[in-house]
A and B are shown apart, each in its own frame.
Chain A
Amino acid sequence: MSEALLVLDKVVKRFGEHTAVNGVDLQISQGEFLAIMGPSGCGKTTTLRMIAGLEEPSEGEIRLNGKRINELKPWQRDTPLVWQNLALFPHLSVLKNVEFGLKMRNVAARERRERAMNWLERMDLHAYAGRNITQLSGGERQRVAIARALVTEPEILLLDEPLSALDAHLRIRMQSEITQLQKQLGITFAYVTHNQSEAFAMASRVAIMSDGLIQQIGSPREVYRAPANHFVAEFVGSNNILTGTVVALDGDRATVDTAHGKFNVPVPDPAPIKGDTLELVVSADLIAISDSAGEYENVIAGELISEEFIGSVITLYLDIGDGTVFRVQKQQHELDALDYASGRKLFASWQGKDTYVLPR
């Protein structure tokens, strides 16, 4: 059986007493776009740095094309990285920056100039070849950094939050540029970010990390709709989590009694028995809201405490008792008929089948 392009096998990284990465298993195949996502300090950047050889794993093995690369120095492997702060060489011109990787591989001056110019053209930067890095805008620098990393035509490109310094508009544009580039080149991208929309928009697979471990890995849709555990459910999307015990089982439906009411949910696999504790995930975008009774079978009542506009989407925050906050996400036009002044009592409701039960 042929192995994936890059394999991390029970990789551990300790810095003194602190364990940054605590046994990561990860397989990245040829041509895929993997996003590694997690809160700061979860070990995602350390993982990327180990792949690049900037940190050596304390335990475990990293294999590229089936060969162990743990001990290889960064310059002995071809794993270019696009840095969070870009780390372009300020003393070199745009062209010299892009040429750098080829120069280090002792490619003859003419050939490396040609290859670097090709990349600059591809990134629409050929007019800037002779310029100083300081004379470029943020987006142009971003593209120089990508060209510099790709000029050696590596099998894998590592990206460490490369868009975090850009403003929102530019970020969206660069997202689609990077996605397209990856599709055209067909090489593997490993992309570290803490930004959910970035990861979901670009990646074919998403790995969620926390506390030095991969919590879940799967397609953006899987991770979004079927979180593997409490952490992922809280970290991804805007989910509401309710905990309760099973009080009735009827075919493929179960009734769960929580502090905020009884709810019908689909029976998960493996099936629970009466008295089992279940965690229910209700995605904020699958909830209906009204000011009188509920539209669907599962109803929760709460007092509106605040609202948040993001473009056309509004998130309502309901206090459903003892300070627990319940989130409901709606398109703005859906709320036209509703009087949702702060302090009003509102009813949130959703269908039993839209409830996701976390695996135990």
Chain B
Amino acid sequence: MSTDRLIAYALRGWFFIALIFIFVPIIINFIFSFSPERFPTLPLGGFSTGWYELILSEAPVPRAFGNSMKAGVIVALISTFIGFAAAYTDYRYRFLGKNFYLALALLPPTIPVLILGLVMLMFLSRVSLVGELYSVVLAHVVYCIPFAMALIRLRLAQMDPNLESAAWNLGANSWRAMREVILPFTLPSIFAALALTMAVSFDEYMIAFFVGGVTETLPVRVLALLQGQVSPRINAIGSVVFTISMSLVILSQILLLSRRSGERNVAAGGK
């Protein structure tokens, strides 16, 4: 066996081990969420959905889950809209201070969430907007816009800059060109941005903890639960949260990648 292949196998093995480290706890989490016992043991003593029933019967958890879903949907809609507007501005116009504008627009995720949560709390409490679900929505929108913008910008960057002008040339005014050309073209990335921003908001703990006050989102509730006692309920909640977030993230990836492979054919078939 040549050294090259040896290295290839070693790297693949290494990668596989890394994947195991990442996914085994999650898989165990899934498995034990269906265990009827108080303390997880192997082999499983049986199959039960008891923990799921329990978390559904305790008012705070479904309420927190509802809050998270509501916040997630609203955040996704608002931040994707603003993200699209920001990305389109970048695509279409040249103006003084554009780099500064871009840097500013993409800044929030680079700030440690602890700081972001704190300053959000200070600011929102000063304007008396703290402690409600909309406080979480507001703060999460700020945090999520850059994700939406980045995804939509990526898509716009693949667009032939003449397409919009071509639409004008054929009689479409600015709005019509936006509706008939820009939006359909960027649609996959818009859906991807919706899914991703919702996932980000759904998962986010720190900011929600600071600005939400007594309005708890699911991650905040989970931590509160953990601080009280380690209960197998956590397994059930974790499984639900993981499933939802991963579905959203995977959906977002599929939307982005499926379209891109289609366009590669264009490039190959052209000229």
- Chain A interface residues (CB < 8 Å from chain B): 52-54, 73-75, 78-81, 83, 85, 87-92, 100-101, 103-105, 133-138, 141, 148-149, 152, 165
Contacts and interface: CB of A to CB of B under 8 A. Distances in A.
Contact of B163 (A54, A87, A135): A87
Contact of B266 (A74, A90, A137): A90
Interface in B222-271: 262-263, 265-266, 269-271
A52 B262 contact: no
Contacts of A89: 163, 166-167, 181
B172 to A, nearest CB: 5
A83 B162 contact: yes
B2 to A, nearest CB: 40
A138 B269 CA distance: 8
Contact of A54 (B168, B172, B269): B168
Interface string B174-188: 001000110011000
Nearest to B188: A91
Closest 5 CB pairs of A and B: A104-B171, A87-B162, A87-B166, A74-B168, A101-B170
B173 interface: yes
B170 A100 contact: yes
Contact of A104 (B160, B162, B172): B172
Given A79-B169, A87-B163, A101-B170, A165 B266 contact: no
A301 B162 CA distance: 52
User: Which of A54, A87, A137, A148 has the largest count of B CB atoms less than 10 A from its CB?
Assistant: A87
Nearest to A135: B269
Contacts, number: 78
A53 B166 CA distance: 11
Given A104-B167, A138-B270, 5 more contacts: A80-B170, A91-B184, A100-B167, A133-B266, A134-B269
Contact of B170 (A53, A104, A137, A165): A104
Contacts of A141: 270
A54 B271 CA distance: 26
User: Which of A73, A81, A135, A137 has the largest count of B CB atoms less than 10 A from its CB?
Assistant: A81
Given A134-B269, A138-B270, A91 B167 contact: no
Nearest to B185: A91
Contacts of B162: 83, 85, 87
A199 B166 CA distance: 24
A153 to B, nearest CB: 13
15 contacts: A53-B168, A73-B168, A74-B165, A75-B171, A75-B172, A78-B171, A80-B170, A85-B160, A87-B162, A90-B263, A91-B181, A101-B171, A103-B180, A152-B171, A165-B271
